Amino acid sequence: MSDLRQRFYIEDSPVRGEVVHLEEALQTILAQRNYAPAVQILLGEMLSATALLASTLKIKGRISLQIQAQGTLKWAMAECNHLGEIRGLADYEEDPRFQSAIDSSTVLSTLVSPVLFINIEPEFGERYQGIVPLDKADLAGCLMQYHDLSAQIPTRIVLASTEQRSGGLLIQLLPRNNDEEQQRVDEDLWPRLTMLTGTLKTDELTNLDAQEILYRLYNEEEVRLPEVEKLQFGCTCSHEKCANSLTQIGLEAVKETLEINNPIEMDCQFCNKRYLFTAKEALDLFGEHLS
Q: Which residues bind Zn ion (CB under 5 A)?
A: 235, 237, 268, 270-271, 273
* For Zn ion, the closer CB: 235 or 243: 235
Count Cβ atoms below 10 Å from residue 261 Cβ, excluding itself: 12
Return d(Cα 196, Cα 117) in angstroms, integer.
29
Nearer to Zn ion, 80 or 173 (CB): 80
Smallest gap from Cβ 271 to Zn ion, in A, equals 3
Question: Cα–chain-centroid distance for residue 158?
Answer: 14
CB of 275 to Zn ion, least distance (A): 9
- Least distance in angstroms from the C-beta of 245 to Zn ion: 13
Closest approach of Zn ion to the CB of residue 11, in Å: 42
Q: Which is nearer to Zn ion, 258 or 271 (CB)?
A: 271
Q: Are strands 85-92 and 232-233 parallel, antiparallel or unpaired?
A: parallel
Positive or negative: CA dihedral 278, 282, 283, 287 = positive
Q: Where are the beta strands (DSSP E) in 93-192?
A: 115-122, 128-132, 155-161, 166-173
Query: What φ, ψ does residue 18 adopt, rounded to 5°?
Result: -145, 150
What is d(CA 266, CA 274) in angstroms, rounded to the nearest whole number? 6
* Identity of the residue, 109 or 245, whose beta carbon is nearer to Zn ion in the bound complex: 245
Q: Which CB atom, from 136 or from 273, has the smaller least distance to Zn ion?
A: 273
CB of 32 to Zn ion, least distance (A): 9
